[in-house]
Structure 1
Amino acid sequence: MATTERIPYQCLSAAEAAALIRAEPDLKLFDVRDLHSYQQEHLDGAMHLSEDRLPLWLGRLPKEAPVLVYCYHGNSSKTFAQTFSDFRFARVYSVDGGYRPLATALAAPAAPEPTADLSPALAAFLLDWDFDPKDLNARRLHGLTPLMRAALQGQGEIVRELLALGVDLHARNDDGNTALWLACVSRDAGLVRELIAAGIELDNRNDAGSTALMYTASSDRPELLELLLEAGADPQVRNFDDMRAVELAASRACLKLLRHTAA
């Protein structure tokens, strides 16, 4: 029996999707959030798409039309993207992280390709971790970019050089975490401060709905918890289990810092 080859869709980071939108004037943009969210704000040129209107678009668009779908956090968009692919659309993309990181990436200047020579330390770091020196936003193992990997390893000089080169601050790894979360894993308060000063999103929610603030509370990192609170991280954000940072606090020190948020 003959089998029909399934055309895969492609997942893009916010930075990759922003670059595609800038480069492809014929790209069809679809926003699959609820209608109220779409009416409040959406990307220029994006059309609202719901399940009941999907068949209309599947029949209307030519199969060669490039299609990009975004949602809240990058989950529902994959379902819609797969449907377009199943209907033989040749170029279909889903945005990891969803609307907010994508809107932020589009509002920022396009990250420049590094034209100057990289420092020997950065060149060696990229080689060690199999990163492409011509694309400093490319993701590798576990979806980590060079910035994320350097933050995780606590390599401050590498982080500073990457920030100076204009890399994407808002890229998310396979778990939906940014470099801020990974700097908290490394327990490097200096790196956390530098990422905050560079403008990284404080309240990014990963695929479990958790923020860096929740992580520092639940992993007993009061010095980083205090730093994030001082920078303006929101302690009232709830994860997908409906819990806030105060309810995840792993020590009295963390609970003391969050006691004003318990009400």
Structure 2
Amino acid sequence: MHTDTVLAVRERLPRRVARRADAPLETVAPAALSTWLAYHGFPDLHSRSVNGETPLMRAARHGEDAVVEALLAFGARADALDDDGNHALWFACLRGGPATILRLIEAGSPIDHANDDDITCLMQAAASGRLDVLRMLLAQGASAELCAPDGRSALDMAADLGLQLLRAARQMDQMGQMHQTEEAGTQRIAATPDLV
């Protein structure tokens, strides 16, 4: 076998190792993952912290794709829910990158799951102004037809956010114009000779 091929196969081996339920994490997980878990206060990859957050949710929320990949490889559940009914994909849609989002979808995180407030990942992405994530979720099959309790769909939320941003931009422009007018007036007064 060619040396490059052997190295590539060896690099993939740890990802294929199945973790036995009774095996301690240290015997199968890389040291870096064990260190990450300990640093974040998780005894193992199936433990939970405040509000039922799992290590996978924490890594997704912070956009740590390499950690998400390792946690999934060692058996973290992509469909686990916290106390508010959110899963790792929902957190990834807030701050995670495209690789993390796609990885979680491929791992079985339900794309159209609605949390306890009946908000889906698509709605969260729209309300947060993450239009890149909104487009990605739609391309992955997320339903744009689902509505929040107030009757708005994700596309309605994106449009509302766009209008809010447009109004804010207009207000800033008007304030800038007022400031320029005030400065011009001040300069004219300063340039006028005293009439004493």
Alignment of 1:81-230 (within 5 A): 112-113=20-21, 115=23, 116-133=27-44, 136-230=45-139
Q: Is this contact kept in 1: 2:29–2:74, CA < 8 A?
A: no
Q: Which amino acid aligns with 1:132?
A: P
| Deviation for aligned residue 1:129 | 1.5
Uncovered stretches (5+) of structure 1, i.e. residues with no partner: 1-110, 253-263
TM-score where L is the length of structure 2: 0.66
Q: Which amino acid aligns with 1:184?
A: C
Q: Is this contact kept in 2: 1:152–1:179, CA < 8 A?
A: yes
Matches of 2:157 and 2:129, distance apart in 1: 10
SS in structure 1 of the partner of residue 117 of structure 2: coil
Decide which structure has greater strand share: 1
1:60-91: CA deviations, max 9, x gaps? xxxxxxxxxxxxxxxxxxxxxxxxxxxxxxxx
TM-score where L is the length of structure 1: 0.50
The CA RMSD measured in Å over matched residues stands at 1.7
Q: Which amino acid aligns with 1:171?
A: A
| Deviation for aligned residue 1:245 | 0.7
Larger Cα Rg: Structure 1 or Structure 2? 2
Q: Which amino acid aligns with 2:120?
A: T
| Deviation for aligned residue 1:137 | 2.2
Matches of 2:28 and 2:152, distance apart in 1: 46
Decide which structure has greater helix share: 2
Matches of 1:176 and 1:158, distance apart in 2: 22
1:148-179: CA deviations, max 9, x gaps? 01111111111111111122111111221110
| Deviation for aligned residue 1:117 | 2.8
Uncovered stretches (5+) of structure 2, i.e. residues with no partner: 1-18, 164-196
